[in-house]
Structure 1
């Protein structure tokens, strides 16, 4: 077998990209695959406040609010922030206040003097909360069980100020739903694994918790109030540290969420996330960029290798096959652990489809209108 110098260089770069890829697989994501899932505590330590922001969410509140109000937790309040809704949310919440004594409703009124948005609504909810430990979710979410709050309560170690949970999307029909769930899976694997590794960098507002005192000590969202998204990931990115952050992945503490039903809605959602990611700490942006760039290079150089000699094609194909085989030993296990077992048989195909879709979406996110509302 005789390879030309350009072929040797290309295949060497492809092999190096594989090594970088395997670093994240074997030294980061494998931590989550091997992590022990702790049992949910049987007793509550302290009371807590559950905060939900709602803007024109009457349909979801009717369906899911009761699951939040009937958690198996002895002392907690549910603070629902009604952010300028006009769809009947206000009237519905007024009725629910009569049914549930631990429901507190906070109203955000229209006012041209301030820039309203989800971060303002979250801040209003935090100010209204009477307990130190705050748990967050969204109006279109439902806990996996009535043990959710028991698992998301303040840990025994008082030095823990942030708890990161997991929130999968509900299974629906269609390719869009498959891609949404698969992308959510990889996002969760990444932030949960890095948290276990001692470098927490984000969380999702559908299922997370932190101390009220931490919020005010760090001046809340003041540093990124001009960004429409980031009430969850940017706050965690700024305040989470190795010794003050824990994760929760017990199946009973998963919080299920309604996925986008349209491609346009999903693209707008990813556009908001793309804008928030620009404000991550430099070290986090570097690591995450490294992941994306080397994955792009891996597939790019593999495709380029298919235009070389037959010998080079065999080597490039072998490198790709090795990558798929190693990752297929780990990610199907994680898919099962994170409640996406139905996707594990499609892993190699979905991995490529998701990469292509997110590459296109990242390009599109650089263009178009700049203003993106949360609802």
Structure 2
């Protein structure tokens, strides 16, 4: 029975954590845009690292061109990361036909033998940038028309140095897309809650902004440049250590960037392994303790399931945990889904719980000890 006692303790700790995230997410002020931002408008350099993105890059550039924010106050820099498709040619053609609004530049990475090409692409873009704020997104994203206006207003209102902002997956009818969508909603809610309460540093590289001078003040990616992933959270923590009161979360529907989910289960697991691989490199011990708790709680389900083959009481404990986990998490994900207008997808939330537990265990393990493929490269 000691196994049930340990599981109950882990559940209690996990429930307290989720309740904290739920309350914190609901407390974040929802930004409602005004017609104009007072004072001198902030200027932005949009950095887009791109590798083999011929299917997506024009869609992104078109959405950027449709910004309501004055094109006099932002530029776009596409950093081509050794693409072997038509990405660069498409960008060049878009520049030629773009009538100069907004200014778009195409840069190309040199043939450097490095482990973190994305960081190098961002770093190259920042070196060429001319504006005060760096705003990052990914080549497979779509940005809303008032995206930059949303950032500008939160900059004027809160005077931050780093802004984490919301990201959502584009919706499809497939099972893998639905599962990822629900899982990602949870991550987005935790991101907003943790940043708002300043309990640990989380963000997503598809939608964030920081002052260019602060990037250089913390020496950019120095010290984390050998890690393939982490161009977002690891940099954010470096900035947080210098400016712990200057980090903001932008809770605005007009700022939601939409991105492609993984196309299949293999790509999804590979993506989550990549995300999990950053865990051992976190300097933020606060988030590391949360990751340990979440992993152990999910791992306890596997132990209960195996033990259930020897004593059915553990199988009943597994089923009870499945139900209780859903009950605790449901208010949280319901609130987050409402912000992202994805309430209709919650009907599958209970059914996906065992799959979510299994992938958390697998991705956490392989993220610490395995290798993964990213943009056609095999990295550790």
- State the TM-score, normalized to the length of structure 1: 0.87
User: CA contact under 8 A between 2:168 and 2:258: conserved in structure 1?
Assistant: yes
Distance across 2 between alignment mates of 1:364 and 1:339: 33
Q: Does 1:39 align with 2:32?
A: yes
Residues 297-336 of structure 1, C-alpha deviations (whole Å, 9 max, x = no match)? 26644774796576x8878766654443333233222222
Q: Does 1:87 align with 2:85?
A: yes
User: CA contact under 8 A between 2:50 and 2:139: conserved in structure 1?
Assistant: yes
Which residue in the other structure is 2:205 paired with?
205
Q: Gapped runs of 5+ residues in structure 2?
A: none
Deviation at 1:113, TM superposition (A): 6.6
The alignment partner of 1:51 has SS state of strand
1:266–1:222 CA distance, 2 compared to 1 (3 A): same
Aligned pairs (5 A) from 1:188-267: 188-240=188-240, 242-267=244-269
Q: Which of 40, 45, 63 lines up with 1:67 in the alignment? A: 63
User: CA contact under 8 A between 2:51 and 2:375: conserved in structure 1?
Assistant: no
Q: Which of 324, 327, 349 lines up with 2:351 in the alignment? A: 349
Distance across 2 between alignment mates of 1:364 and 1:113: 24
The alignment partner of 1:171 has SS state of coil
Distance across 1 between alignment mates of 2:228 and 2:301: 33
Distance across 1 between alignment mates of 2:55 and 2:374: 23
User: CA contact under 8 A between 1:41 and 1:150: conserved in structure 2?
Assistant: no
1:223–1:325 CA distance, 2 compared to 1 (3 A): same
Please say which structure displays the higher CA radius of gyration. 1
Which residue in the other structure is 1:4 paired with?
none
Distance across 2 between alignment mates of 1:348 and 1:132: 45
Which residue in the other structure is 2:147 paired with?
148
Deviation at 1:16, TM superposition (A): 1.7
Distance across 1 between alignment mates of 2:302 and 2:112: 49
Aligned pairs (5 A) from 1:1-375: 7=1, 9-44=2-37, 45-74=41-70, 75-98=73-96, 99-101=98-100, 102-112=102-112, 117-143=117-143, 145-153=144-152, 155-156=155-156, 159-240=159-240, 242-281=244-283, 282-297=285-300, 300-301=303-304, 304=307, 321-366=323-368, 368-369=370-371, 372=374
1:356–1:309 CA distance, 2 compared to 1 (3 A): closer
1:113–1:138 CA distance, 2 compared to 1 (3 A): closer
Equivalent pairs, count: 366
User: CA contact under 8 A between 1:71 and 1:147: conserved in structure 2?
Assistant: yes
Distance across 2 between alignment mates of 1:205 and 1:57: 16
Distance across 1 between alignment mates of 2:131 and 2:246: 19
Deviation at 1:359, TM superposition (A): 1.2
The alignment partner of 1:135 has SS state of strand
Distance across 1 between alignment mates of 2:317 and 2:372: 45
Distance across 1 between alignment mates of 2:109 and 2:330: 51
Q: Gapped runs of 5+ residues in structure 1?
A: 1-6
RMSD (Å) for aligned C-alpha atoms: 2.8
Deviation at 1:134, TM superposition (A): 1.4
Moved more, 31-40 or 250-259: 31-40
User: CA contact under 8 A between 1:195 and 1:242: conserved in structure 2?
Assistant: no
The alignment partner of 2:352 has SS state of helix
Distance across 2 between alignment mates of 1:335 and 1:212: 33
